[in-house]
Amino acid sequence: SSSDRTRLYLAAILRHAVAGPALSLATVWTIAKCLISTCRLVSGWTVTISLPAETYSFLLVLTFYVGHAYGMDCRRKRVISHRKRRRSRRGKLANQMSSPSSFADQRAESIMSDEADDESTVVDEEEFDDESEVAVDNEHESLLSSPLPLYPNNGGVTCWSRPDHKIFRVRGKTYLRDRIKIPSAPAIFHCRGVDVWLTENAERNISLSRANCVLGGKLNAEDSFVVNFLLPFANFCAYFTVPPIDTMPPNIAAVWLRFINGDQQYRDSKLKLLPVVVDGPWIVKKAVGPGTAPAVIGRDLPLQYYFREPTSTEKGCYEVDVLVTASAIGRAILNVVKGHTKSVTLAFAFIIEASEELHLPETVLCAFQIHSLHLEHCPKLPWADLSVDNGHH
C-alpha cells in the first residue's frame, strides 16, 4: 500500500540505507550556512559566502547521487551476507540430519538464529525479498515448466502471448522519402513459446545445450529462430518457427537471407528490438521508452550468433544471444523493470532493418508478450547436455 511504501522509504532514509548519506551531506551544508549567518548576527563578524543558486542545487544533486550509490552498495553487501548466513544454516541442517539424537536441539538453535535475523527493520526484509525472488534455492520448488503457460492460463500471470501486431510501428513503403512509420503487418515468424530459466550463470547457445529440455524437447521439430537474453539472474528465451523462404513476402525473404548469410558486423547493424509497455507503472514506461523507435541491439549490447543451417537429417536453428549484463544502460533499464515485473505486461518485437526502398515496408519478424512475471515461480535452468558441441559462427 502507499502507506507501507512511505514508511519503507522513510526507514531507508533514517537508516542511511539508500538516501541517508545524501541527506546527511545536504543537511550538514545547510546547517553550516545557518551557523555562519547566526555568528554574523550575534558577534557582528562579517562572513560572506557567495554561492549561486544553480551551484547550490548542483551540489545537492551531487550529494544525493553519491549517497545513493553508497547506500545501494551497502544494501547489496547486506543482502549477500544475509543469503550466505541462510545457506550456511541450511547446509549445517542437512549435514546434521544424520544425527537424530541431537537434531531437535540443533533445529531449535537454527530457529532462534532465524528469529534473531528477523529482528531487522522493514528495509532489510524488503531488500532480502527483492533478491530472494530470483535466488535459485532448493527450498523453493518451481511451479512451472518449459515453456511458460500461454495467456490466459495460470490465472493470467507468469505467462506469455502473441501481441497485436498493430502496436508496433515500422518503416512504411516511402519511409526513405517522408520518414512515415505505419503499423506492422502480422509477424512473419510464429512464436512457439517463452522461457525464463533461473540461474546465477546465464548460459549461451541454449538451443543446443538444452535442446532436450526446451519446448518439451520439441525445439528441433521445426526450423527455429531463438532469442536468448542473458540476464544476471536468468536466461530469458523466446522461440519462433521459421517458415519456408518461398512463403515469406519477397522483401522480408530478401532481408532475412542477407541477415543469416551476413557477417557479425552486418548482423549487429540490422537486428532491431522494439519493446512496448502494454500495461505497467509510469516508471517502467519511462525507462523502456514510448515504444515508437526500435533500437539496433548490436550498437548497445554485445550479440553472439549460433546459426545451424537445415540439412536433410535435421532442422535449422538460428539463435541470437543478447548479453544484457555487458551494458550499463541495459543493466539500468533491467533494474527498473525487474522491480515491477509482477505489474507489467511487456511486448517485444524483433525487426530486421530495411535500408533500401526495394525492401520496404518493414514487417515485424517475430514478437511475443510477457504478462505479470513472478520470477519465484519460474523453473531453474536444467543441466546441460555435455555430449553436444557448443560451436557457433
Judge whether residue 251 has pLDDT over 60: yes
Highest mean pLDDT among 58-67, 92-101, 137-146, 354-363: 354-363
pTM check: above 0.85? no
pLDDT of res. 242: 96
SS (H, E, C) the chain: CHHHHHHHHHHHHHCCCCCHHHHHHHHHHHHHHHHHHHHHHHHCCCCCCCCCHHHHHHHHHHHHHHHHHHHHHHHHHHHHHHHHHHHHHHHHHHHHCCCHHHHHHHHHHHHHHHHHHCCCCHHHHHHHHHHHCCCCCCCCCCCCCCCCCECCCHHHCCEEECCCHHHCEEECCCHHHHCCEEECCCCCCEEEEEEEEECCCCCCCHHHHCCCCHHHHCHHHCCEEEEEEECCCEEEEEEEECCCHHHCCHHHHHHHHHHHHCCHHHHHHHEEEEEEEEECCHHHHHHHCCCCCCEEHHHHCCEEEEEECCCCCCCCEEEEEEEHHHCHHHHHHHHHHHCCHHHCEEEEEEEECCCCHHHCCCCCCEEEEEECCCHHHCCECCCCCCCCCCCCC
Q: What percent of the chain clears pLDDT 90, i.e. is strictly above it? A: 40
- Of the two residues 146 and 299, the one the predictor is more confident about is 299
d(CA 176, CA 190): 28
Asked if 213 and 207 count as a contact pair (C-beta separation under 8 A), the reply is no
- What confidence tier does 200 reach under pLDDT thresholds 50, 70, 90? confident
- Of the two residues 142 and 288, the one the predictor is more confident about is 288
Highest mean pLDDT among 83-92, 184-193, 286-295: 184-193
pLDDT of res. 339: 78
Judge whether residue 177 has pLDDT over 90: yes
- Please state, rounded to an integer, the average pLDDT across all residues of the chain: 78
**Arithmetic mean of pLDDT, 17-33:** 63
User: What cell numbers appear for 66 in the block?
Assistant: 553519491
d(CA 377, CA 375): 5
Q: Does the N-terminal peptide bond of residue 147 adopt cis geometry, omega within 30 degrees of 0?
A: yes
Whole-number Cα distances in Å, 298 to 2, 106, 273, 330, 336 = 40, 54, 10, 12, 21
